[in-house]
A and B are shown apart, each in its own frame.
Chain A
């Protein structure tokens, strides 16, 4: 019954027009970035490399598909949560708003199974969004700009990662980025269990992200203590895979904190959904 319910959730997500807003928005944004990079990319690169040009000589195809993919991932990972919450925040509350939850919860399947079906479908949708983003950024980016070594600028300086060393880094980077997006899906699904309309959970998800990002950015001693525990701090941990040497401890710590958040929020969602009186 669980898999049948999950299949139903896939059917619903695929049929909902709002599910295509995310895919459409990502496509438009990435096409704009690719177009901008194609026309003005070299001047953009020289802006980054200028401080190093007196001591270093840059050769080869610097503006390549790998760099484009890295830039796109960095730019979009902040905005993708909204597109994901648009669908996952609607999974439970949308049924309440439409009134279909009354029929759904009078079927011989436990509420926990229904919630997990929705969660699984939401995670699959998140995966599709990220996969589409990866395809456009990496595959289309390489097709337009070609391949090459990746030049990454971080607080310690400039790191150049050889092309042959990039495949697994992108794979793991997208993996951790996916985990942080799953965290967003879990948050919006949990909020969705508390709401009877779909706008509430979406707006609240974005407000929480905004609030935590601001707290994370403030260099105040009292806030510094909580910053490592905020999920927003770890949403950019995919970047750790483009460090040399690899900060394994930091990566494990980020993944653990994201997983703890996911499990904690999911437990709240299960508890709330099972005890919820359906009054809509």
Chain B
């Protein structure tokens, strides 16, 4: 479900070629104000290229990019002034302190940022007491936090985080996730979050797009896409042939997706699982196990495995 009808990001048929290599072939999606938008795809799907194009780090081969209702190419500085971002790794000047790094980027943000604001942000991301330390002594997790501080310093309307949890330990992942949720809940920011981990998007985002091989495959509300009525349910039974006949007799032939040696895979809703189970049990077909997968999750896992 979207939070507002105001489109903050509009990407239409984005294409980017690097010579003969087609990094992005056709990506389209919309982000609405207040969304935490998941940008999901396996590694090499074209997520970073799309994000870099949105931030004018890369020139698109073709397609339309509108942010805040304005064309990116002709309104670059206006648009970038409203965005805070981390693109892949949060790299900073190692020979400067955390505070100096934030000061440096704040100076280019287009707004006046006071020292107290810088300290407030550093405090917010949990780096209080480390502001005078040089970046050369920072861990990846600390740099990630500083990266988030850098994105927030000018109070942007849109925050773009490209794989912000990559390379972090489990606690680091939880911390960053909590920070993002804090931004969503306390500051009502619009956040575009790229990831190759479905569960991460599921926990944070309200809307998402899945891209693969440079193409956007599906987009919509996370709850609708992931908790869709239809599931892929695998029944492990002792008599496959009889189970198949029983389903055909119950006018459920069309829900059969695949028949394996001991499993029968069905496209059914959650409510139908006990119905099918009862049908088998009442007719002497023993059910050993029932495994339900959401259709999209199954699809995404296949993408990742591929």
Q: Which residues of A contact B (CB under 8 A)?
A: 1, 4-5, 7-8, 11-12, 15-17, 98-100, 102-110, 275, 277-279
Q: Return A186 CB to nearest CB of chain B, in Å.
A: 24
- Residues in chain B near residue A5, CB distance under 8 A: 107-108
Q: Does B124 contact A (CB under 8 A)?
A: no
Nearest-Cβ distance from residue A245 to partner chain B, whole angstroms: 51
Q: Are A15 and B93 in contact (CB under 8 A)?
A: yes
With A4-B108, A7-B107 already in contact, the answer to whether A108 and B81 are too (CB < 8 A) is yes
When the two chains form the complex, which single residue of A15, A17, A108, A275 contacts B108, counting CB atoms closer than 8 Å? A108
Q: Which residue of A lies closest to B84 (CB)?
A: A106
A103 to B90, CA, bound (A): 8
A103–B150 touching, CB < 8 Å: yes
> Contact at A100–B92, with CB atoms within 8 Å?
yes
Interface of B is mostly: loop
A278–B18 alpha-carbon span in the complex (Å): 12
A1 CB contacts on chain B under 8 angstroms = 108, 110
**Contact flag A277-B109 (CB < 8 Å), given A98-B94, A100-B93:** no
Q: Considering the complex of A and B, which 8 residue pairs feature the smallest CB-CB distances, nearest first? A: A99-B91, A108-B81, A107-B108, A278-B57, A108-B77, A108-B80, A102-B87, A108-B110
Question: Does B100 reach chain A (CB closer than 8 Å)?
Answer: yes
Query: What is the distance, in angstroms, from A37's C-beta to the closest C-beta of chain B?
Result: 37
Complex CA–CA separation, A106 to B84 (angstroms): 8
Query: Chain B residues in contact with chain A, CB under 8 A?
Result: 18, 52, 55-59, 76-81, 83, 85, 87-96, 100, 104-105, 107-110, 150
Q: Known interface pairs A1-B108, A5-B108, A109-B108. Does A277 touch B58 (Cβ–Cβ under 8 Å)? A: yes
Q: Is the CB of A278 within 8 A of B108?
A: no
**Min CB distance, B281 to chain A, in Å?**
59
B55 and A108 contact, CB distance less than 8 A: no
- Given the interface pairs A8-B108, A103-B105, the reply to whether A15 lies near B95 with Cβ below 8 Å is yes
CB-CB under 8 A from A277, the residues of chain B are 18, 52, 57-59
A-B contacts, 27 of them at CB < 8 A, read A4-B107, A4-B108, A5-B107, A15-B96, A15-B100, A17-B95, A98-B91, A99-B88, A100-B93, A102-B88, A103-B85, A105-B56, A105-B57, A106-B56, A106-B57, A106-B80, A106-B87, A107-B80, A107-B105, A107-B110, A108-B76, A108-B109, A108-B110, A109-B77, A109-B110, A277-B18, A278-B52
Residues of A within 8 A of B107 (CB): 4-5, 7-8
**Contact (Cβ within 8 A) A110 B89:** no
Q: Tell me, in angstroms, the Cα distance from A8 to B100 when the chains sit together.
A: 10
Question: How far does the alpha carbon of A102 sit from the alpha carbon of B150 in the complex, in Å?
Answer: 13
- Contact indicator A103/B58 (Cβ below 8 Å): no
Q: Which of B59, B78, B81, B110 contacts A275 (CB 8 A)?
A: B59
Closest A residue by C-beta to B80: A108
Supply 11 further A-B pairs (C-beta < 8 A) apart from A103-B87, A103-B92, A104-B105.
A4-B107, A5-B107, A5-B108, A8-B104, A12-B93, A100-B92, A100-B93, A105-B56, A106-B57, A109-B77, A277-B59
Chain A residues in 8 Å Cβ range of B100: 11, 15
Q: For B109, list chain A residues within 8 Å (CB).
A: 107-108
How many Å lie between the Cα of A8 and that of B92 in the bound state? 13
Contact partners of B95 in chain A: CB under 8 A: 15-17
Q: For B57, what are the chain A residues with a Cβ–Cβ distance below 8 Å?
A: 102, 105-106, 277-278
> Considering only CB atoms, which chain B residue lies closest to A114 in the complex?
B108
Which residues on A sit within 8 Å (CB–CB) of B56?
105-106
In the bound complex, how far is the Cα of B96 from the Cα of A17, in angstroms?
11
- Between A11, A100, A107, the greatest number of chain B beta carbons within 10 A of the residue's beta carbon is seen for A107
Interface centre among B85, B89, B91 (most CB of A within 10 A): B91
Chain B residues contacting A105 (CB-CB under 8 Å) are: 55-57
Q: How far is the CA of A17 from the CA of B93 in the complex (A)?
A: 12
Q: Do residues A98 and B93 form an inter-chain contact, with CB atoms below 8 A?
A: yes
Pick the most buried of A4, A103, A107, A278: most chain B CB atoms within 10 A of its CB.
A103
The CA-CA distance from A109 to B55 in the complex, in Å, is 12
Instruction: Say how far A271's CB is from chain B's closest CB, in angstroms.
Output: 13
Bound complex: CA A12 to CA B95 (Å)? 9
Residue in A closest to B108 when the chains form the complex, CB atoms: A107
Residues of B with C-beta under 8 A to A98: 91, 93-94
Residues of A within 8 Å of B88, CB to CB, are: 99, 102
Report A258 CB to chain B, min CB distance, Å: 32
